[in-house]
Amino acid sequence: SDLQKQEERGELLQPLIFVLLVLCSILLYFKVSLMDPGFVKPEEEESEDKGQGVVIPQIPGDIKLRRCGYCLVKQPMRAKHCQLCQHCVRRYDHHCPWLENCVGERNHPLFIVYLSVQLVVLLWGGHIAWSGLYFEQSQEWLQHNIFLLVSFLLIFIFTIVVLLLLVSHLYLISCNTTTWEFMSHHRISYLQHSELENPFDQGIILNLWRFFC
């Protein structure tokens, strides 16, 4: 049959991989949006005081850890309170409106993986939409190709947005800084009083290794 011939030629493999990538993208979306981004919990204070909690980066200068004015927990270094989530988040990066969740210490690496998979899906989808277009200057052509044309334009816009997001995040990760620290450097006490512009930067290779591994 035609289906068997297509299978023998490997023509069914590419659509299968594309569908699997789309499913992977959807699963990553729900995983990142539903998981704990690194909420600071009150019960963690005792274990941290005894040295059993999460390791806190070296505090530059004489900056003291302070209690959050909203949830009253002792904020670890690089944590910030999110007004939308009503929690302090470890290594807070930003609150993503598309995920309806914060991006922080625990889900930031998965967020990068999600953006990468999403970019591959968009590029592939854009290629499929473009390959289905054939251009003619006629009203009939526009009626038959309007769906593909609109799809390609939307995919192109989303691709640019995801690409810019991914590149900017990878740059910040390579510098071992967060979006919040980059945008609010002048308002963050442990950065204001530090002798270094970025006291957490340990070189591109080590920054990437510690983030992903």
Kindly state whether residue 191 falls inside one of the protein's structural domains.
no
Kindly state whether residue 152 falls inside one of the protein's structural domains.
yes
Residue numbers of the domain that contains 122:
1-34+106-175
Kindly state whether residue 197 falls inside one of the protein's structural domains.
no
Specify the pLDDT at position 200: 92
Q: Which residues contact 124 (CB under 8 A, 6 or more apart)?
A: 18, 21
pLDDT tens, position by position, 65-98: 778 888 888 888 899 999 999 999 999 999 999 9
Kindly state whether residue 51 falls inside one of the protein's structural domains.
no
90-94, long-range: CB < 8 A, 24+ apart: 90/37, 90/38, 90/39, 90/40, 90/54, 91/38, 91/178, 92/38, 92/178, 92/180, 93/178, 93/179, 93/180, 94/178, 94/179, 94/180
Kindly state whether residue 54 falls inside one of the protein's structural domains.
no
Number of structural domains found in the chain: 1
Q: Catalytic residues, which ones? A: 96
Specify the pLDDT at position 189: 83
pLDDT grade for 187, boundaries at 50, 70 and 90: confident
Kindly state whether residue 7 falls inside one of the protein's structural domains.
yes
Kindly state whether residue 200 falls inside one of the protein's structural domains.
no
pLDDT grade for 45, boundaries at 50, 70 and 90: low
Kindly state whether residue 60 falls inside one of the protein's structural domains.
no
